Structure 1
Amino acid sequence: MTAELRQVRDAAEGLALEAALFSGTGPGVLVWSPQSRGIVYPAALIRKHGLESSTAFEGWPITMRPTGGGPVPQGPGMLNLALAYTVENGATIEETYADLTEILRDALSGLKLDLECKDIPASFCDGSWNLGVNGKKLVGTAQRWKPLPGGGCRVLAHALIFVEGNVQSDAEMIADLHRHLGLPPVDPKKHVTLRALKGAEMPDRAEIAHQLYHASWRRLRTRRPALAAA
């Protein structure tokens, strides 16, 4: 495993690394993948749905995250990209989402995918800044912002990339959770992996992590210099 890809035990360890990045001052990039499967659930919905005392659903450990959205699966076939940096007053969520999606397009450009940036109804944790192919979700995105005492904000931007494995089976588990909680339905067929799209042409995870890591630093250091300011 390269230094560019952090292999962690579980989602809780990965989210702890992201929290440390977010609490820093300068720009930072983290690419991580968990060794075990689990569910990551937004803190804002934990009590609302009566999960505050739950540690698992159908055998999948539940880990709380501070960002919004809906529950998502984590597992060995997924890569997580996290960027932490400071923006000046006046920066917008749309601008930072645009930066994140451009990083992802840059990193995945060698795979010649026709990536669409839009909502994908019936996908889990749907949002208008998903990246998909042919109406199926390949990447989910999220953000967390924190105002700074001296002005500006600290931003944590996150992307979850479905690389390989059976993401439709994972989505079926999230669909079961949605049914259990009375949330909108999830269609497992609305999700796809890089492996399913590219087959043997897909690079290994370490190479994809390498591209994500360096595309992130190119964006932070050269295309938007103000983002790198501490």
Structure 2
Amino acid sequence: MNTLTNHLANQKWRFIDQSTLGVYFEALQSFAYDDALCIAVGNGTSDSIVRTWVHHDTVVLGIQDSRLPFVQDGIHYLYQQGYNVIVRNSGGLAVVLDEGILNISLILKEEKKFSINEGYELMYAFIQQILSPYGVKVDAREIVGSYCPGSYDLSVNGKKFAGISQRRIRGGVAVQIYLCVTGSGSERAKLIQTFYSRAVQGPPASFDYPKIRPETMASLSELTGEELSIPLISHRLLLTFKEHGAHLTSSTFTEAEAQSYEEQYMRIIQRNERISAKYL
């Protein structure tokens, strides 16, 4: 039984679509939503969940980014380009979110046999299936020269279009991915490249920040030569669940989850403010 079938066949999943909420839906809210849903799945009050979400013109920095010697100059540049900037409390480095990037969270109950690598492999298999009609070979390996590089960068012909991360909290696991669906991958990379040049300015940095080469990144529309869209990829996502025998139900937040979200959101805002006060 393959990875997808094992997690989807005859399994109950909830589908929460937040991909059309627009400019007033902030990235910090998404971290809080995933934490609240992880808690619900972890304590057994919810089935597994797939959540889709889109944020407009936001750069999410990692804590290490916030410690760069001239980070305020880098952030000022991003503001000048029309981007909001937040600092996440988890691992990872700077990434771009905009209306051409679809984010997907697969939220499952944490089990001893479900290792971190298995979480990455599940999302990798999932994206391969979603993109199967387009005749591209998707590789999972670090793409040196991309922003936020990692061992599970997803690429086609050496050009990265997605990155995967995980968050584990109170018995739940959120496997998250950002998919560059439309627009220019290299232009997004140039934005982060300039951020680093402004934030470092020559002195040694406190960590080995990415030396970005914009030509290493592209969107799925660029890589497939197809006129893709967020709704089209979302439709392929739903078909993948159906094709593998999952029982998928469109869902909203329960009252308990909404309350948990408010608690998590306040905690994340406070953490972000503390990080900003300390390093920015």
Normalised by the length of structure 1, the TM-score is: 0.80
Among 113, 126, 144, the alignment partner of 1:103 is: 126
TM-aligned CA distance change 1:203 to 1:46, over 3 Å: closer
Among 203, 208, 212, the alignment partner of 2:237 is: 212
How many Å separate the matches in 2 of 1:202 and 1:20? 35
Name the counterpart of 1:227: none
Taking only the aligned residue pairs, the percentage that are identical comes to 23
1:158 matched to 2:176? The reply is yes
Structure with the larger RCO, 1 or 2 (CA within 8 Å, 6+ apart): 2
TM-aligned CA distance change 1:87 to 1:17, over 3 Å: closer
Name the counterpart of 2:186: 168
SS of corresponding position for 2:195: helix
Name the counterpart of 2:38: 22
How many Å separate the matches in 2 of 1:155 and 1:220? 22
TM-aligned CA distance change 1:55 to 1:160, over 3 Å: same
Contact 2:61/2:95 (<8 A) preserved? yes
Among 142, 148, 152, the alignment partner of 1:129 is: 152
Q: Where does structure 2 lack aligned partners over 5 or more consecutive residues?
A: 1-15, 248-280
TM-aligned CA distance change 1:38 to 1:187, over 3 Å: same
Name the counterpart of 2:221: 195
How many Å separate the matches in 1 of 2:184 and 2:98? 10
Contact 1:33/1:75 (<8 A) preserved? yes
TM-aligned CA distance change 1:219 to 1:122, over 3 Å: farther
How many Å separate the matches in 1 of 2:77 and 2:32? 21
Query: Where do residues 1-230 of structure 1 align in structure 2 (5 Å cutoff)?
Result: 4=17, 6-8=19-21, 9=23, 10-25=26-41, 26=46, 27-34=48-55, 36-42=56-62, 44-45=63-64, 48-49=67-68, 57-59=77-79, 60-146=83-169, 148=170, 153-179=171-197, 180-181=199-200, 182=205, 183-199=209-225, 201-215=226-240, 221=246
1:138 offset after TM fit, Å? 1.1
TM-aligned CA distance change 1:156 to 1:66, over 3 Å: farther
Q: Which has the higher strand share?
A: 1
TM-aligned CA distance change 1:6 to 1:191, over 3 Å: same
How many Å separate the matches in 2 of 1:57 and 1:218? 45
Q: Which has the higher helix share?
A: 2
How many Å separate the matches in 2 of 1:47 and 1:117? 28
Over the aligned positions, Cα root-mean-square deviation in angstroms equals 2.7
Amino acid of the structure 1 residue aligned with 2:104: L
Contact 1:99/1:219 (<8 A) preserved? no
How many Å separate the matches in 1 of 2:141 and 2:229? 27
Q: Which moved more, 1:213-222 or 1:132-141?
A: 213-222
How many Å separate the matches in 1 of 2:172 and 2:242? 17
SS of corresponding position for 2:87: strand
Amino acid of the structure 2 residue aligned with 1:7: T
- CA radius of gyration, larger in: 2
The number of aligned residues is 212
Contact 2:168/2:174 (<8 A) preserved? yes
How many Å separate the matches in 2 of 1:12 and 1:6? 15
TM-aligned CA distance change 1:219 to 1:118, over 3 Å: farther
Normalised by the length of structure 2, the TM-score is: 0.67
1:221 offset after TM fit, Å? 4.5
SS of corresponding position for 1:189: helix
Q: Where does structure 1 lack aligned partners over 5 or more consecutive residues?
A: 223-230
1:168 offset after TM fit, Å? 1.3
SS of corresponding position for 1:123: coil
1:88 offset after TM fit, Å? 1.4
Contact 1:67/1:142 (<8 A) preserved? no
